[in-house]
């Protein structure tokens, strides 16, 4: 059974940085596409960043230039480096892995940015 476990969330002041990590049980090679989503209270879950095994990335306009998604196949982890954080980045952040057959989600990690 594949499991995704996020870590690295917390409370940070505006302008600060956080690095989220997603540990994947099993091999990342079974997940051609990985992504980070977020959901703020009262809002729908939205795509933040995605990364394919070929290295193609996609970012939400609101985070371009501030967030960077990366993967370490040797460690079976996917990370999201978040810089210049803003209060509107406050949300629960979820890691998603997509295999050929299905999608897998982590339990989420809270990120709170104070003004």
pLDDT digits (tens, 9 = 90+) for 32-79: 899 999 999 999 999 999 999 889 999 999 999 999 999 998 899 999
- The confidence score (pLDDT) of residue 53 equals 87
Rg (CA), the chain: 13
- pLDDT confidence tier of residue 27, bands split at 50, 70 and 90: confident
Are 38 and 103 in contact by the 8 Å Cβ rule? The answer is: no
Rounded CA-CA distance 41/24 in Å is: 26
Please, which pLDDT band fits residue 100 given cuts at 50, 70 and 90? Answer: confident
| DSSP β-bridge partners for residue 78 | 22, 71
């Amino acid at each position: 059974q594949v499991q995704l476990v996020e870590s690295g969330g917390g409370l940070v002041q505006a302008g600060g940085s956080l690095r989220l990590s997603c540990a994947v049980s099993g091999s990342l090679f079974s997940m051609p596409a990985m992504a980070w989503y977020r959901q703020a209270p009262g809002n729908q879950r939205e795509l933040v960043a995605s990364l394919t095994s070929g290295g193609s990335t996609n970012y939400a306009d609101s985070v371009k230039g501030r967030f960077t998604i990366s993967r370490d196949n040797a460690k079976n982890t996917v990370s999201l480096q978040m810089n210049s954080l803003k209060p509107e980045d406050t949300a629960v952040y979820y890691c998603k892995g997509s295999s050929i057959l299905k999608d897998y989600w982590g339990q989420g990690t809270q990120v709170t940015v104070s003004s």
